[in-house]
Amino acid sequence: MESYPLEYVLHHVPLMAVSGLLDTEVLGNNDGMLQEDAGGSLRKSLLSVLMSKNNASIWDAAAKKEAPFFHVTVLDKTHVFPPRRSPRATPAQHSNLSPLNPISPLHPDGIMIPAWIQRHKETRPSVVVGFYDLWERSEAVDSSDPLGAQQTLSLERERDLILCSEVMEKKRNTGERGIKFAIVITLQASRGDDTHVEERLAFIRRTCSLDNKSLFVLLAQNADLQLFVTIMQKSLYEQSANYYRDHDKRIRKKKARLPPISAMRATTSPTSANIPSSTGTPAKPLPPAGWHLRYEFKLGVFAEFRQDVEAAIKHYETTYHLLIELMHAAIGPNSGPPMAQDFLQPFTTRWTEARTLADCVNLKICKLHLYTDRPVPALQQLDKHISACKMFPEFVGRPSTEEQQGVSSGISKLGNLAGGGSFDYWAWVSIQYRVFGELIELATGKIGLRLPFPPPGAISAVNTGTGQAQSFLNTISNTSMNALTGGDMPAAQFTPSSATSPSLVVQHAGYYYFIAASCAEERWKKFRDAEKAITSAPPPPPSAATGARAGHSRIYADIPSSPFSPLMSSTSTHPQSYESSLGSERDVDHATFVIELLTKSYEQFKKHRAGRMTLFLASEIARVYEQSGKYEMALKFFERIGKTYRKEHWPSVLRDVLRSSAQCARTLGRWETVAECLVELLNERMSKPGPDGESERKAVLQELLSVIRGEGSNPSNGIKVIVDMDQLEGFLLCTVQFRKHSTYVGVAAPFQICLKAASSKSPPVAIRISRVQIAFSDSRFDHVFSDSTADGIAKAREVQWVDCTDCSLTTVEEGREVYSKAIDLDFQPGMSKVLEGTVTPGEGMDLKISAVSIVVTAGEGSLILVYKIGERSEDTSTRRKWYSGDGDEAGINRWTMLDGSGEQSVLRVIRKQPNLTIQLNHAPPGLINEEYEVDVEVVNEESEDVEAFLDVEFRSSGADGLDATSYIKQQTNHLESPTLPGNDHNAINLIHLGVIPAHARVSRRFWLKCTENAGERVMYNIVNYRSISRTATSPTSPEKATPATHPEFFFRKNEPVRIPFVAPFNPEFKETVEFGAPFDAGEVGLFSARSQDGKLDMMHLRNIGLKIVCPGPWELEVTEVMFTQAIDETVGVRSVQVAPVTNTSTSNPNGEVWKAGYVHSRVFRVVAAIDPMAEVSQIPLGEVGVRWRRKVPNRNSTSWVETRICLPKLKISHDSVCACIDIPPLIFYTEPFTVTYTLYNLSLATHHLSMNMEVTDGFVFSGYKQTQARLLPLSSMVVTYNCVPIVCGKTTLPKLKISIMGEEADLTKHGPGQEVTDLRVRGGVDSGVGTAGELIAFVRPKNS
Amino acid sequence: MPFDVVCIAVIGKMNNPLYIKNCSSTYQDLKCHYIAHTSIDLVEERISTTKHTDQYLGLLYAMEELAVFGYITNTRVKFIIVTSLQDVAIKDQEMKNLFRKIHNSYVSLVSNPFYNPDSHKPIVSANFERAMAEVTAT
């Protein structure tokens, strides 16, 4: 757009001239310096505010109608406008831009030049604004001095009059030219509301006869200049419009004097009757039609100046039609009215001027339509313009025999002119579309035009009649645009009557740039044709170029030659101009032009988020780069765009891209890229269906192999190309499958590699694969299958199953071994090859097939197709398949479905816990003190050997830690030092069980012993073990690994066993006391004197009954039950004799068998002599030792153990008085009985006793309720009373409460004495002393 | 019919081409593929920016003297009709009817139990081919 004269293209805005703002003028003013400084800065800022809009973007001027602005120019204060020519002026007074003026560049027959517009834009203001300062006295008025005030007033008046005369001078000068004049008076010091100042201003206004709208007052202090300028311009706007309207009227008047257009069309010769007469130069003057045109254009310009868009469009359209008509008339000898022969001849300067004017007027019309939100008429204007200009002679291409094919299919309509258009034509069309695109882009960007317009379904079919549609589009645009700018695009509503007119839809700028680019490319093509025609004098026969010439067959079709004879060209009449344009065309970098336009289009589409369209444009850009020989850039673009087409499966597009890339890479000698492209082109989908495609692919394969052989490169050593097949659509597919998701260490896991042709005819011919390499995540498992080169199964089978499970480990390089096998790797078209192999991992891991590489060698080069299995994403759509084959054709060969979906490329190797069981043989419960025998048996249930270590631990089941009462040992002898050094006696660790062969068992025997505390114990049996496999691929493990040193190799199995331990014997004791009479000579006396030393002993006689009960459940063998008396050395104990009453002491060496529930009884008689004065409370008696062992049939080897049972200690009481209570054995209901209390005084003092009977409910009694007695030392007495029970059952007996009173003490004085508590009850069934000290007896019902 | 059908395209829901028929002699197959592919952009824009109630999407774009019309089924299968650009208004109803015909033939194609609509393979069906020929002939 910028290539046109800016004066034609820019939007016109009214011009305002300001004077009195330049600093030079201020200098003439000899006011106070202070004032001047302030005024100077004010002027400067005013000027900058006014001028700031000069730089504003003028494209969107009309969009802001509510804020009109002016273009501002600065005039000198003394500037005087030249007076306008009077209408009756002499011809010599013509403007120096008029065609009538001989010095004008338009003389004699020019229509218009940009300088005319420039004049109006820059030097012919519509409004002049003069800025003046109001003189103000600097000192305050002294109101008391009337003379001074008077003087000041007269001074002011004087100054004001000077100002007025200046203003009036100016006003007269501008008024002569019809220019509106306004003044701005700046008040430096005063405030606006000063009545005196107001009076002065009114005076000035009156004197200068200015109206209200022409005088503005600017307060210098705190003035908002921006606001002031806006307000001022707003109020002057209408007047400036009037100025242009005056011009309008003037032009109209002139125009009216011309003969009407219709008259001109009718006449056969131009008439110069009424036109302004020329100066008589021999050149032909401008014909009346030209004058019409000129005036119409001026009218349009003035309408635009006053922002009357509608009128401007109307005038411009008329101008345009006139101009085109004139131009057509000039070139068409027989068509159109001959109103301007010899005027506007092609290939002249005037013609070029006219073309520029036509283009610019067209541009103006389009732009103004867009300003008023009418995109469709704008588009129509463009179409009109292009079709109108098509027939210009310089646009006519050289006729050729193949006109239609000469133009790319996308722009054939534009090329619908003679000879397909010249390069000049295409350059011009390209510019037109580019300009239109730029306009659309501006319109969308600045005024929010929404595209496409009209939106789908907006136009009713009823209105699609030609004229109606036009008006409809014009009307609807305004309304719907307004509606659209607010919110979202409404839903497309397709009513039954709606219709779409595709050619009348305005789309975003990208489309127009694209057309421009296509045209630019066409221009390039035409230029090449023209060049060729000149260089190749004898044209080739026309038939040579009938091949595909259309846009995209660019790879294999060479640049089409366009034969035509230069003699046939209509432009031959102007060979010079043709030569010059061809010459300038040679300097044009066409490719850059095209790419620039394509890039502009690309950016537009990118902005509209049309990603696929940008890909298309990128491919176009790449194509142009390729054509211009910039293969590097082309390749870069091609590589970038292939991805989406591949992803969305557009093979035919991808094929084109690949072929182009291959071509570029070939030219650049990048053979790796070539090979990569060729590999993908081998896919059948990439080629045309049918035999054509097949032969094409055969050629591709041939080329691929020759590329690999290195025939293209130099020196031809063969090249190595690695192609990532997962990034492209390959002709050969590869899937892998582990049969199972997981396996155990040492168990062979089968896998299959399936190489499958992508279609039935790929590869196009059989190829021989040299190697198939399978890379695992652990390189120890890598497989390489090489070609056996044997002519294997020639029969083409659909699926060929190859058994590769018997690979051998071979060394490929230093220190690296792979499994390898030579197999038949001939790959027939359409076949599938299933290679089945196995891996046997020797340790736990996730084994992954990371990549499969297929190596095809040709010559010294090799092509490696890599399938990066490990990087594939999960595919859930296909079932897992497994080919069950046996290599035998007769066998069952078919695909079977496996569980799950996708590709199982990961094998989870689980270190299987070998099946090992721990069994315990023992006989619970164990007995305390017993050596309890436990057999721990470890059973290897695997088919492989297992090495195992055993840890055992034995302790109470409670809290952790050591248990001092539990022991474990492995040996049978000496329990006291049972364990190995370093082991605590609760546990034995690291018992090496050795290698347990498959299905064998190993047992160890342990003895457990608990010394005390019957209860549950736990035996922990922990086996650490590992399987020892000889077949699996496993890391080399250290020779002697133990769980302690290499815990990672071992599995651990724990088998805790709870074992209850019970006591072997339950002893029960019963103690009875014998009382003898004091001083009885026998040993049973209460006191006895020793015969030897005559000392008095206090004798205690007891009978202790012992019952040893065997609770079971085991039978015990007992050899000996032996009493051992304790040796007591307590002071005061004179002698203790414990003698078994029954001498049934057993000491049977063979032992006697005590069954469960057996009771062994013993009675011991204890006679203890104690010093009466000694404080002895208890005397240990001794213990009974039982030697026993568990009775186990057929075994006598168990050792005897001894359990000791301690007799209860003898308790000695030291009460001075004790009472023995005799209750009859049987008490019957209501039958009286006697209770006898025998009271003994065991001390050597006399005691006074007080006895009280405590009554109870169950009995009535007879006897003293309260009595007293005196008890002599070492004497006894008997108290009896009778009772009658009156209730049955267990009842509390009345009790005699016996208290010892102090010796010779007063009863009343001392109160109750010490109560006798040593009560012993004899006789009476179920009678005794209760817990609270009460006597309890059982009363039976009376005998019947 | 006041317009020539240049190309008919059926595009799968994953934006993969299912069927592309070039009915013209002036344009190359590749051009049709490019047009079909680029029209996906416009279809996506149409159904995302507007409250898409109609399966018929109207004119998608006009470029290189071709007008591209779109239609989308409930299963996101897109039908594209490319016509030559002429200065006549195309009644939406007529275009819609054409699309309906394509849709109907596509429905009968999908009704075939042996046809896998999720496969990315191009449509190979004599019946469908015939129906498309009828569409372009009328």
A225-250 residue pLDDT tens: 778 888 888 888 888 888 888 888 88
Residues of B in contact with A405 (CB under 8 A): none
**C-alpha dihedral, A420 to A424 to A429 to A431, nearest 10°:** 160
Q: What percent of chain A has pLDDT over 90?
A: 0
CB-based contact B27 A503, cutoff 8 Å: no
CB-based contact A413 B87, cutoff 8 Å: no
Q: What is the pLDDT of residue A979?
A: 42
A320-347 residue pLDDT tens: 888 888 887 777 655 444 444 556 677 7
Q: What is the pLDDT of residue B106?
A: 92
Same domain, A385 and A524: yes
Q: Which residues pair with A624 in a beta bridge?
A: none
Q: Which of A408, A292, A284 is nearest to A348 (CA)?
A: A284
CB-based contact B64 A518, cutoff 8 Å: yes
Same domain, A345 and A399: no
Residue A27 has pLDDT above 80, yes or no: no
Strand A127-133 and strand A15-19: the pairing is parallel
pLDDT: which is higher, A548 or A96:
A96
Q: Which amino acid, A807?
A: C
Residues of A in contact with B89 (CB under 8 A): 459, 461, 464, 469, 499-501, 504
B12 — alpha (psi -120 to 50), left (phi > 0) or beta? Answer: beta
Q: Please check whether residue A532 lies inside any domain of the structure.
A: yes
Distance CA A633, CA A1052 (A): 66
Residue A1109 has pLDDT above 70, yes or no: yes
Q: What is the pLDDT of residue B103?
A: 92
Contacts of A1091 (CB under 8 A, 6+ apart): none
CB-based contact B87 A501, cutoff 8 Å: yes
CB-based contact A553 B61, cutoff 8 Å: no
Residues of B in contact with A498 (CB under 8 A): 91-93
Least confident of A403-412, A518-527, A1159-1168: A403-412
- Name the domain boundary from A1193, A1211, A1229: A1211
A962-973 residue pLDDT tens: 566 777 877 544
Nearest CA of chain A to the CA of B58: how many Å? 6
Least confident of A52-56, A877-881, A1121-1125, A1335-1339: A52-56
Q: Which of A1028, A1022, A1026 is nearest to A1047 (CA)?
A: A1026
Q: What is the pLDDT of residue A604?
A: 87
Task: Tell me what percent of chain B is helix, strand and coil, each rounded to the nearest 5.
Answer: 40, 25, 35
CB-based contact A490 B50, cutoff 8 Å: yes
CB-based contact A610 B41, cutoff 8 Å: yes
Task: Let me know: does A419 contact A398? Beta carbons within 8 Å.
Answer: yes
Q: What is the pLDDT of residue A1118?
A: 85
CB-based contact A452 B41, cutoff 8 Å: no
A637-686 residue pLDDT tens: 888 888 888 888 888 888 888 888 888 888 888 888 888 888 888 887 77
Task: Let me know: does A295 contact A251? Beta carbons within 8 Å.
Answer: yes
Least confident of A17-31, A116-130, A921-935: A17-31
Contacts of A642 (CB under 8 A, 6+ apart): A654, A657, A658, A661
CB-based contact A501 B16, cutoff 8 Å: no
A998-1050 residue pLDDT tens: 888 888 888 888 887 778 888 888 888 887 765 555 555 555 667 777 777 78
A865 phi and psi angles, rounded to 5 deg = -95, 115
**Residues of chain B falling short of pLDDT 50:** none
Distance CA A403, CA A418 (A): 8
Q: DSSP for A314-363, please give it.
A: HHHHHHHHHHHHHHHHHH-SSSS--SSTTSS-TTSHHHHHHHHHHHHHHH
Same domain, A649 and A674: yes
CB-based contact B63 A410, cutoff 8 Å: yes
Q: Please check whether residue A251 lies inside any domain of the structure.
A: no
A172-210 residue pLDDT tens: 888 877 788 888 888 776 665 677 778 888 888 888 877
CB-based contact A652 B30, cutoff 8 Å: yes
- State the DSSP code for A1039: S
Q: Please check whether residue A834 lies inside any domain of the structure.
A: yes
Kindly state the average pLDDT of the residues A1262-1269: 83
- What's the pLDDT band for A33 if we cut at 50, 70, 90? very low
Contacts 24+ apart (CB under 8 A), A1267-1271: A1268/A1301, A1268/A1307, A1269/A1239, A1270/A1246, A1271/A1217, A1271/A1239, A1271/A1241, A1271/A1246, A1271/A1247
pLDDT: which is higher, A1285 or A25:
A1285
Residues of A in contact with B41 (CB under 8 A): 605, 609-613
* A72-99 burial code (b ≥16 CB/10 A, e <16): bbebebeeebeeeeeeeeeeeebeebbb
Q: What is the pLDDT of residue A1341?
A: 86
Distance CA B13, CA A663 (A): 33
Kindly state the average pLDDT of the residues A1119-1126: 82
Distance CA A579, CA A685 (A): 50
Residue with tokens 């009790």: A1295
Contacts of A1148 (CB under 8 A, 6+ apart): A1118, A1119, A1120
Residues of A in contact with B120 (CB under 8 A): 649
Query: In whole angstroms, what separates CA A476 from the centre of its chain?
Result: 46
Q: What is the pLDDT of residue A1114?
A: 83
Q: Which CATH number fits domain B5-137: 3.40.50.11540, 3.30.450.70, 3.40.50.1000, 3.40.440.10?
A: 3.30.450.70
Q: What is the pLDDT of residue A1344?
A: 61
CATH at A783: 2.60.40.10
Q: Which ranges constitute the DSSP H helices of A349-462?
A: 349-371, 375-389, 423-446
* A1093-1117 burial code (b ≥16 CB/10 A, e <16): eeebbbbbbbebebebbbbbebebb
Q: Please check whether residue A495 lies inside any domain of the structure.
A: no
Per the structure, the count of domains in chain A is 8
Q: DSSP for A100-167, please give it.
A: TSTTSTTTTT----HHHHHHHHHT--SEEEEEEEPP--SSPP-TT-HHHHHHHHHHHHHHHHHHHHHH
Same domain, A682 and A561: no
A237-292 residue pLDDT tens: 888 888 888 888 888 888 888 777 666 554 444 433 344 443 443 456 677 777 88
Q: Which residues pair with A918 in a beta bridge?
A: A938
Q: What is the pLDDT of residue A1307?
A: 47
Residue A737 has pLDDT above 80, yes or no: yes
Contacts of A67 (CB under 8 A, 6+ apart): A230, A234
* A850-871 burial code (b ≥16 CB/10 A, e <16): bbbbbbbbbeebbbbbbbebee
Q: What is the pLDDT of residue B79?
A: 92
Residues of A in contact with B29 (CB under 8 A): 652
Distance CA A134, CA A832 (A): 104
Same domain, A905 and A931: no
Q: What is the pLDDT of residue A501?
A: 78
| Cα nearest neighbour of A490 on chain B | B50
Same domain, A121 and A196: yes
Peptide bond into A270 cis (omega under 30): no
Same domain, A647 and A507: no
Same domain, A606 and A573: no
**Measured on CA atoms in the order B23, B29, B31, B36, is the torsion positive or negative?**
positive
Q: Tokens representing B19?
A: 């069927």
Which strand ranges, in their side-by-side order, compose the sheet holding A71-75?
A: A71-75, A15-19, A127-133, A180-187, A215-219
Task: Let me know: does A358 contact A385? Beta carbons within 8 Å.
Answer: yes
Same domain, A989 and A1015: yes
Q: What is the pLDDT of residue B10?
A: 92
- Going from N- to C-terminal start, the domains of chain B cover 5-137
Nearest CA of chain A to the CA of B23: how many Å? 15
Kindly state the average pLDDT of the residues A839-850: 83
**Measured on CA atoms in the order A1139, A1140, A1142, A1148, is the torsion positive or negative?**
negative
CB-based contact B58 A457, cutoff 8 Å: yes
Q: What is the pLDDT of residue A78?
A: 73
Minimal Cβ distance to A456: which of B53, B58, B118:
B58
CB-based contact A507 B62, cutoff 8 Å: yes
Residue to test with chain A: of B21, B27, B61, most A Cβ within 10 A: B61
Q: Please check whether residue A964 lies inside any domain of the structure.
A: yes
Query: In whole angstroms, what separates CA A1287 from the centre of its chain?
Result: 93
Q: Which of A1335, A1065, A1303 is nearest to A1219 (CA)?
A: A1335
Q: Which of A383, A126, A98, A129 is nearest to A231 (CA)?
A: A129
Peptide bond into A925 cis (omega under 30): yes
Task: Let me know: does A133 contact A162? Beta carbons within 8 Å.
Answer: no
CB-based contact A492 B57, cutoff 8 Å: yes
Residues of A in contact with B58 (CB under 8 A): 456-457, 492, 494, 500
Minimal Cβ distance to A456: which of B16, B59, B88:
B59
Task: Let me know: does A680 contact A643? Beta carbons within 8 Å.
Answer: no
Task: Let me know: does A1128 contact A1172? Beta carbons within 8 Å.
Answer: no
Q: What is the pLDDT of residue A1304?
A: 54
pLDDT: which is higher, A296 or A687:
A296
Residue to test with chain A: of B4, B44, B49, B92, most A Cβ within 10 A: B92
Nearest CA of chain B to the CA of A582: how many Å? 28
Same domain, A1027 and A1094: no
- Name the domain boundary from A325, A344, A368: A368
- Name the domain boundary from A586, A620, A642: A586
Report CA-CA distances (Å) from A91 to A31, A86, A104, A270.
Answer: 49, 11, 13, 21
Task: Tell me what percent of chain A is helix, strand and coil, each rounded to the nearest 5.
Answer: 35, 30, 40
Residue to test with chain A: of B16, B41, B55, most A Cβ within 10 A: B41
Task: Let me know: does B2 contact B106? Beta carbons within 8 Å.
Answer: no
Distance CA A278, CA A290 (A): 14
Same domain, A1205 and A1254: no
Mean pLDDT, chain A, whole residue set: 74
- What's the pLDDT band for A557 if we cut at 50, 70, 90? very low
R_g of chain B, CA atoms, integer Å: 14
Same domain, A760 and A627: no
| Residue A205: domain span | 6-87+94-246
Q: Identify the top-confidence range among A91-95, A120-124, A560-564.
A: A120-124
CB-based contact A488 B28, cutoff 8 Å: no
Which strand ranges, in their side-by-side order, compose the sheet holding A749-757?
A: A732-738, A749-757, A832-839, A799-803
Residue with tokens 């490990």: A870
Residues of B in contact with A878 (CB under 8 A): none
Least confident of A380-389, A747-756, A1130-1139: A1130-1139
